[in-house]
């Protein structure tokens, strides 16, 4: 079973650990700096976080492939989801979000974060807007988008709920837009 294999891979991978508080504080400070820089324009902050994540994802995929010892490509998007949740998130954040809410066409699913290390000790600004506009962990959407693009998948990812906003769960929605065809360089005859 692909699911079991993914859990095993995620568990087996031994990697260097870094102090969780250091990550939490650094990420928090970056978000708050962005809020300052963009004058609490949270729509713009979301955008910037996504962009930062995208740039991380473009490189992180190499690290993922090196560390996860995956030998072959995923045969379908469901398998990809398993690998993201149980191997990718396990390696880099030491969490395993739950996969849920597949659409019938198998192109859209949710990751539900029972725990989100980024959000430890976090409170959103109490200005009456951040609760509705800021997606605090939005960097993760960008990471997935960037990483998957490097392995021929164009996806769209966004949060639809966040416990920081007072929702019951933290849920990210991921949609496969298309598989990117290998584009051969133009032949020079």
Task: Kindly tell me the sign of the dihedral angle through the C-alpha atoms of 135, 98, 6, 103.
Answer: negative
Residue 172's H or E segment, with its range, is strand 171-179
Compare residues 38 and 92 and give the one whose CB is closer to another protein: 92
Question: From the CB of 17, what's the least distance to another protein, in Å?
Answer: 3
Task: Verify binding: residue 92, another protein, rule CB under 8 A.
Answer: yes
- Using the rule CB under 8 A, which residue among 19, 72, 184, 189 binds another protein? 19
The Cα–Cα gap between 80 and 72 comes to 11
Structure-block tokens of residue 129:
């807007």
Element of type H or E holding 89: helix 89-93
Q: Is 123 in the site for another protein (CB under 8 A)?
A: no
CB distance 145 to 157 below 8 Å:
yes
Using CB under 8 A, which of the segments 46-54, 88-96, 122-130, 154-162 binds another protein?
88-96
Q: What is the contact mask toward another protein in residues 27 to 56, using x (rule: CB under 8 A)?
A: --xx-xx-----------------------
- Considering only 6, 60, 164, 172, the residue that binds another protein (CB under 8 A) is 60
Tell me the angle at which helices 20-37 and 42-68 cross, rounded to the nearest 10 degrees.
Answer: 150
Q: Which of 135, 175, 102, 174 is nearest to 34 (CA)?
A: 135
Contact between 2 and another protein by CB under 8 A: the answer reads: no
Nearer Cβ to another protein, position 93 or 173? 93
Q: Which residues bind another protein (CB under 8 A)?
A: 15-23, 25-26, 29-30, 32-33, 59-60, 62-63, 66-67, 91-94, 117
């Amino acid at each position: 079973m692909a699911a079991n294999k993914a859990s095993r891979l995620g568990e087996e991978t031994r990697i260097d650990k870094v102090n969780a508080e250091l990550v939490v504080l650094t990420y928090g400070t970056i978000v708050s700096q962005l809020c300052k820089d963009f004058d609490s324009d949270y729509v713009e902050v979301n955008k910037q976080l996504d962009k930062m994540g995208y740039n991380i994802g473009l490189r992180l995929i190499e690290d993922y492939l090196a560390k996860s010892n995956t030998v072959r490509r995923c045969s379908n998007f469901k398998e990809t989801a398993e690998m993201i949740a149980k191997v990718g998130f396990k390696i880099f954040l030491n969490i395993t979000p739950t996969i849920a809410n597949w659409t019938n066409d198998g192109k859209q699913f949710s990751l539900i974060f029972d725990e989100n290390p980024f959000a430890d000790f976090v409170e959103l600004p109490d200005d009456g807007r951040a609760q509705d506009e800021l997606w605090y962990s939005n960097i993760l959407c960008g990471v997935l988008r960037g990483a998957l693009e490097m392995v021929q998948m164009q996806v769209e990812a966004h949060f639809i709920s966040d416990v920081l906003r007072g929702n019951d769960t933290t849920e990210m929605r991921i949609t496969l837009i298309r598989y990117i065809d290998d584009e051969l360089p133009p032949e020079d005859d």
